[in-house]
Amino acid sequence: MKPKSINREKRAAVKSALLGTLFQLMTVAALLYLRTLGAPGWLSGLMLILAAADLITIPFTFAALWQRVREIEQGELDEAKKY
């Protein structure tokens, strides 16, 4: 694989992870804002649980990104194309 192609794939992977994280943070902000509008107790609690669950996934997104960047650098995709 050419170095330009490697850099392009890395940029695409990083861009995808950052965009996904941005959407997750926007969802968390929306849930927490809606929670302040006077929702019933059970709904307010559900929104808090959903916001926390959404935040928990962010570190896993970056762990997957780190693994993907390593795969790109090691050329595993090129090796798999041989078969």
Rounded Cα distance, 76 and 81, in Å:
9
Q: For residue range 29-74, list pLDDT tens digits in order.
A: 999 999 999 878 899 999 999 999 999 999 999 999 999 999 888 8
User: Which residues are CB-neighbours of 71 under 8 A, at least 6 positions away?
Assistant: 77
**Model confidence over 13-28: pLDDT tens digits?**
999 999 999 999 999 9
Q: Is the pTM of this model over 0.85?
A: no
